[in-house]
Structure 1
Amino acid sequence: MKKVLLSLSACLILTMHTLQAQIPGGICNWDNDKKAAIVLTFDDWSPGHYPIAVPELKSRNLVGTFFATNSTGSYSWPQIRIAAADGNEIGNHTKTHPHLTTLTPAQLNDEIRAMKISIDQNITTQKVTTFAYPFGEYNAAVLDSVKKSGHIAARGVQPASSYPYNFAATENAYYNIATYAMGPTVTIATFNGLVQNVTTGGGLLTFLYHSIDDATTSHGDNWYSQVKQADLQAQLDKLVSVKDVVWITTFSQAIKYHKEKACATLTQTQVPDGTTWKFTLTDTLSNNTIYNQPLSIKLKMHGVNYMSVLQNGVALPIDRIRNDSILFHAVPDKGEIVLTTQLITSTKNMQAASDNITVSPVPSNGLITIHAAKTINPSSVIVSDLAGNILFHQPHVSFADDVQIDLSGFKEGAYLIHIYEGEQLITKKAIRVN
């Protein structure tokens, strides 16, 4: 068994005056307070996407959006289900990749709505919410059909000249999102420059890939604007290197976050009293089934040691505590948010989750090992003393292997290990001895 040793840069400050107080913080522009967002999109489900793009993304823990069409009969639902299971988005690129502006209303409906229904029926783990125009062509009738068939955004083929955060000033602007087309002439220097530009601008950058194949084109993917596997690898490696500052996500998640944030309000309902702080998070979007993307909230704690964050009575993972600020996710319209200095767990039955986690040895003179009998999702791990003072915090810890924490620098005594499993907070005791 392997063991792992744990050793919105621009966040909008909302000025609410609820209870005559200003909230010291607010909703971050992007997930986990990242500076910008980047989306990788792949059109047509061409022959190189499944054998090359899908595993190259997975090996780096990256995701993208595959706008699939069945124009050549190359569709393989089992393969597409595997891509979706890896966390990739499957978007709508029509049934036969036609010139949409030449079609009748009935034909548009068959190409757009019917294809969305087909994908939803075959990929049951997600719902289609985004669209890519074949050839980048659309008019008012096409846009109307895309909207009415249940898509929240669409991607074109034209590049952006800059990458500001307010890239969609109107609702229709979300249905012509710019993109940078990748091909054999795009150098890694150009790619890196684009990444730097969006990081500086704070907005959204989408890349558009078509054919992808290896050096000898062994998969026969020379449909259009082929990118070699080695070049794709270099580009993905660059994205891995900037993951701490740029959110690499799917098209749907980026658009949902941006739309929700644009109309969300964080309202203070109880001023901090040294132990408790309360808020509501609401937005003006009517479809909470679609718009359920968690938003990152970053707040200044002013020296108060908040141990728990709850929404509607359910414990939320704390993503980061640093420089007297706390960062966590919450979903708009999902109930009151409470920050408290108490260690409070979810109202759900926690016995099964608690039994799944063991900490050993107890006592320990140095390393302790956290073991999950059943694999859990990446979780936050916090070590506190019995008074609730946080001494160690590591977000997004993978429990695919055992996790180790070195207590050798701690004083002798008892400590609490706090681990989130889903919506539940599990607490275990550790004892440090010499």
Structure 2
Amino acid sequence: MLRPTVSFSHRTPMKKYWMILMLAALGSGPAVAAPGDTKVAKWKDDRTAAFLLMFDDGWPSHWQVAIPEMTKRGLIGTFYINPEKGEYKKFEEKWTKEIPQTGMVLANHTMTHKGVTDLENAEYEVGGCAEYIRKVTAKPKPELLSYGQPGVGEGKWNITKEQLDELLRKHHLIDRPPFNDHGAVYHLQTTEQMMALAEKAIGAKGMEYLILHGVERKEPDWGYQDFWALKQDVFFPLLDRLKEKSDKGELWITDHITQHKYEVQREATAVKVLRATREGIELEVKCTANPQWYDGVLTLISEVPDGWKKVTISQGDARTTADVKDGVVKFDALPGVVLLTGR
């Protein structure tokens, strides 16, 4: 970091010399924030860290146990489905009619979970699953989807990494983080072990995740459990503790694609102050990420003039209000011009 240069001679009076040093020290300190100065929060709502719950294989216990319990607590998860797998096909209406209404997010785990024989078959397994999900969710425009590669036996995955990467690009799929050391039951058996991932994310102000398969089913009693079923006396306390962290503003619990989009847009966004007066602040938010795929809101944190207690945030036809706390206001915005008016 550049610092002011101070020169003096033997003729410089000692008192004057110390005054020069003091002024130089003051000049090298951090700049004082000014009204309008704005930064993008690292995570949505300025939460400390992000945490993802991911569920594989479309097991019945997901809609029987996991989703109802998560919905009670206002938590979101990503559910990696196999549309041609037996357990999914038997209860397909649950997944296509009911689950999208809960806010849970469907993701690509290939059509059958059986691997791929060649590139043509991989197009069916990977591309076909993406097409199926987009048809089920019927969004106004195509959106990015999360992809989780299924674990299959040796010799069952017969395309190269480069070929898979090209398929993901073609179908606008985002590869999720790896299963390694993040699998419930397989790697982690207790609530404490799983919460250690959340604490790690908070400590690093980063992102962590947990990958689950089945969840223990008590009612109805089918006489068997889904694959790698996590006990309810581990799963329910985990959800409770994640909810507590969320309520405290320590964790943003979301789905993989929403987290991915926020991170990409955050790194590609700059905020410019167009005008800052006691009456109002005008900002220009610019994002260089492709708006076709990266179109989510970002949380901004703006310094406001002394005396402002509430702020009206205007962007296009949208209006909202937010309270000022410690001289700043936090709000969500899209790329474009944002007007802040204080009172």
Q: Do the structures match in fold with TM over 0.5?
A: yes
**Which residue is equivalent to 1:115?**
129
Indicate how the Cα distance of structure 1 residues 22 and 302 shifts in structure 2: closer, same or farther if over 3 A, else same: closer
**Which residue is equivalent to 1:142?**
164
**Which residue is equivalent to 1:257?**
262
Is residue 56 of structure 2 the alignment partner of residue 43 of structure 1? yes
- Determine the C-alpha separation between the residues in 2 that align with 1:265 and 1:121: 35
Give how far 1:25 is off.
Answer: 3.4
Instruction: Kindly indicate whether the alpha-carbon contact (under 8 Å) linking 1:62 and 1:248 is maintained by their aligned counterparts in 2.
Output: yes
- Determine the C-alpha separation between the residues in 1 that align with 2:192 and 2:214: 21
Is residue 326 of structure 2 the alignment partner of residue 336 of structure 1? no
- Determine the C-alpha separation between the residues in 2 that align with 1:234 and 1:262: 35
* Structure having the higher Rg: 2
- Determine the C-alpha separation between the residues in 2 that align with 1:29 and 1:292: 17
Give how far 1:123 is off.
Answer: 2.1
Q: What is the aligned residue count? A: 297
Indicate how the Cα distance of structure 1 residues 311 and 90 shifts in structure 2: closer, same or farther if over 3 A, else same: same
1:332-371 CA distances to partner (integer Å, 9 max, x unpaired)? 2xx2111113xxxxxxxxxxxxxxxxxxxxxxxxxxxxxx
- Determine the C-alpha separation between the residues in 2 that align with 1:38 and 1:73: 30
1:160-211 CA distances to partner (integer Å, 9 max, x unpaired)? xxxxxxxxxxxxxxxxxxxx11117511221222211110111111110001
What is the SS of the residue equivalent to 2:138? coil
**Which residue is equivalent to 2:6?**
none
**Which residue is equivalent to 2:292?**
289
**Which residue is equivalent to 2:315?**
311
Structure showing the higher strand proportion among its residues: 1
1:288-340 CA distances to partner (integer Å, 9 max, x unpaired)? 2321211000112131525311112421353x5311210000012xx211111
Larger relative contact order (Cα-Cα within 8 Å, sequence gap ≥ 6): 2
Is residue 216 of structure 2 the alignment partner of residue 213 of structure 1? yes
Indicate how the Cα distance of structure 1 residues 258 and 283 shifts in structure 2: closer, same or farther if over 3 A, else same: same
Indicate how the Cα distance of structure 1 residues 221 and 132 shifts in structure 2: closer, same or farther if over 3 A, else same: farther
- Determine the C-alpha separation between the residues in 2 that align with 1:135 and 1:112: 14
1:92-148 CA distances to partner (integer Å, 9 max, x unpaired)? 111011334xx3221111111111111111222584511111118772211221121
**Which residue is equivalent to 1:202?**
205
What is the SS of the residue equivalent to 1:299? strand
Match of 2:94 among 79, 84, 102: 79
Give how far 1:216 is off.
Answer: 8.4
- Determine the C-alpha separation between the residues in 2 that align with 1:63 and 1:108: 29
**Which residue is equivalent to 2:253?**
248
Cα RMSD, aligned residues only: 2.5
- Determine the C-alpha separation between the residues in 1 that align with 2:64 and 2:185: 18
Give how far 1:46 is off.
Answer: 0.9
Identical columns (%): 19
Unaligned runs of 5+ in 1: 1-14, 16-20, 160-179, 342-387, 389-434
Instruction: Kindly indicate whether the alpha-carbon contact (under 8 Å) linking 2:214 and 2:230 is maintained by their aligned counterparts in 1.
Output: yes
- Determine the C-alpha separation between the residues in 1 that align with 2:219 and 2:289: 49
What is the SS of the residue equivalent to 2:113? coil
- Determine the C-alpha separation between the residues in 1 that align with 2:137 and 2:304: 43
**Which residue is equivalent to 1:68?**
81
Give the TM-score normalised by structure 2: 0.80
- Determine the C-alpha separation between the residues in 1 that align with 2:179 and 2:84: 19
Instruction: Kindly indicate whether the alpha-carbon contact (under 8 Å) linking 1:91 and 1:131 is maintained by their aligned counterparts in 2.
Output: yes
Moved more, 216-225 or 180-189: 216-225
Indicate how the Cα distance of structure 1 residues 62 and 219 shifts in structure 2: closer, same or farther if over 3 A, else same: farther
The amino acid of 1:129's aligned partner reads L
Give the TM-score normalised by structure 1: 0.64
The amino acid of 1:229's aligned partner reads Q
Give how far 1:233 is off.
Answer: 0.5
